[in-house]
Amino acid sequence: MANIWEHPQIIAQEALTHLEDALVVTNMCAKDNTSEFTAKANGWKKGDTVSFRTHGDYVAEDFTGSINVQDIQTSSRAMQIEKHLDVSVEVTAREEVLDLDSFSDQVIRPAAYRLAEMTENYVASKILQGAGLYTSAGLFANAADIAQARKYATIQQLSTSRFCLVDLEKEADLLGQEWFNQSQTRGQAGERTLNTGEMGHVMGMDWYSAITFPQSTLTMGDGATTTDNTVATNNKIGLRVLTVAATTGDVVAGDRLAVAGCRRPLIAAAPAAAGSTSISIVDPITEIVADGAAVTTVASGATVDIHGAIFDDRSLAVAFPMLDMPGDKVTSTAANNGVSIRVVKGYDIQTKKTTMSLDLLCGAFAHDPRRITLVGETQ
């Protein structure tokens, strides 16, 4: 191909291929919820917000002659398009005449990889919005500890196809354990782990590591109490306040609060001093909360280093809205599997330079933080 700029769509497709190849965490996210974004350019821009409705929760009762009619109680979460990522380079006469392979090696691939790296850092940061928390003094030190972490995730009703994503430190710990990398315990999968470093499928989870996994340390409060539903308006689905009898200790922002009878924890949004009767929570209540149910802080009073998370492909959501195409520039947009990227080339008469930009819009959030179990090591 003498001049690839006669076919800008080929450049966009090449950039998209390299972008998708470099994504790890993003490929574990749900994209079908936001497929409308990549159907066509529709003026999407950084700062736009879209709301997603969650499923309701109801009480099942044994029919004894009359029914108890329940309201339809649902909650919603909002995702914002927070990132407009860009790599712009000057294109000289030398690059203008390169064939696709040479231009890809020098420009497209490294630019796409940098966009992927920034995207991964952004998307991975949303994992910390997870409501679940499993802690251990020796996190994943043996198979029994992994089984306990799996139990916590199962209680939170994850699908059978789940991931365990860990940082590089915890990956090194796992690969160094004999039960994890030997055929006596894992069969051929253990041999492959020892030979290639691929962690594979363990305890019903597909294991991955990511250099982009966000570092975080949580300092948990020591508050505990019971719920107070004596007023009909207390602790209903959709509310962002948990009404309690009175906290026995301090609740700090970020505490994971386990409510007896509920499968998934709630996250405290703000501090609540000892004796408080209400706790602000990050996400709305989504389950039936019983009156007088015990409320406990997960890892009460401990400091926890987060090293990974267990989740499924319905836990996180990501969107790549298609950018508009300027009419006065050489431009093309490519989209596939919910991922979209734009290529724009133009001459600036003010600077006397020809510039090529690769850019994309991206938004991500914990679509259902109740389905994410953070795993951490207590200090």
What is the percent of the chain with per-residue pLDDT over 90, rounded to a whole number? 50
- What six digits make up the tokens of 332? 């093309």
C-alpha distances in Å from residue 344, one per residue of 8, 91, 100, 328, 356: 9, 12, 16, 10, 6
Q: Domain limits of the chain?
A: 4-56+76-126+315-366, 130-214+306-314, 221-301
Q: Show the beta-strand stretches assigned E in the chain.
A: 49-53, 76-80, 83-90, 132-136, 162-166, 200-202, 205-209, 216-219, 225-226, 241-243, 256-259, 266-267, 278-280, 294-297, 303-312, 317-319, 330-336, 339-348, 353-365, 373-378
Taking CA 87 as the corner, what is the angle to CA 82 and CA 89, rounded to the nearest 5 degrees?
155
- The predicted pLDDT at position 188 comes to 81
pLDDT of residue 324: 87
pLDDT of 33 > 60? The answer is no
pLDDT value at residue 174: 93
Q: Is the pLDDT of residue 164 over 90?
A: yes
Tokens linked to 88: 């712009």
Q: In this predicted structure, what is the pLDDT of residue 187?
A: 81
d(CA 231, CA 376): 37
* Nearest of 155, 212, 162 to residue 22 by alpha carbon: 212
Tokens of 363: 């938004």
Report pLDDT digits (tens) over 68-95.
Answer: 787 665 555 678 899 999 999 888 777 6
Radius of gyration of the chain measured on its C-alpha atoms: 25
Return mean pLDDT, the chain: 87
Residue (of 151, 161, 157, 121) closest to 313 by Cα position:
161
CA dist 196 and 192 (Å) reads 6
Residues 353/88, Cβ–Cβ less than 8 Å = no
pLDDT per position as a tens digit, 168-201: 999 999 999 988 888 888 888 888 888 888 899 9
Higher pLDDT, 59 or 257: 257
Q: Calculate the dihedral angle through the C-alpha atoms of 106, 339, 76, 151, rounding to the nearest 10 degrees.
A: -90
> 329-332 — which CB contacts under 8 Å span 24+ positions?
330/5, 330/8, 331/8, 332/8, 332/9, 332/11, 332/12
Please report, for residues 144, 148, 167, 170, 320, the alpha-carbon distance to residue 190 in angstroms, rounded to integers and kept in the order given: 17, 21, 20, 17, 37
Q: Is the pLDDT of residue 223 over 60?
A: yes
Residue 261 falls in which region: left (phi positive, over 0), alpha (psi -120 to 50) or beta: left
How confident is the model at residue 252, as a pLDDT?
A: 96
| pLDDT over threshold 70, residue 37 | no
> What is d(CA 179, CA 77) in angstroms, rounded to the nearest whole number?
41
Find residue 361's DSSP bridge partners: 84
Relative to beta strand 205-209, strand 162-166 is parallel
SS3 362: strand
**Site of tokens 């044994």:** 62
The maximal CA–CA distance of the chain, rounded, in angstroms, is 84
pLDDT tier, 32 (very low <50, low <70, confident <90, very high otherwise): low
- Interval 85-140: pLDDT, tens: 999 988 877 766 666 778 888 888 999 999 999 999 999 999 999 999 999 999 99
- Higher-pLDDT residue of 203 and 307 is 307
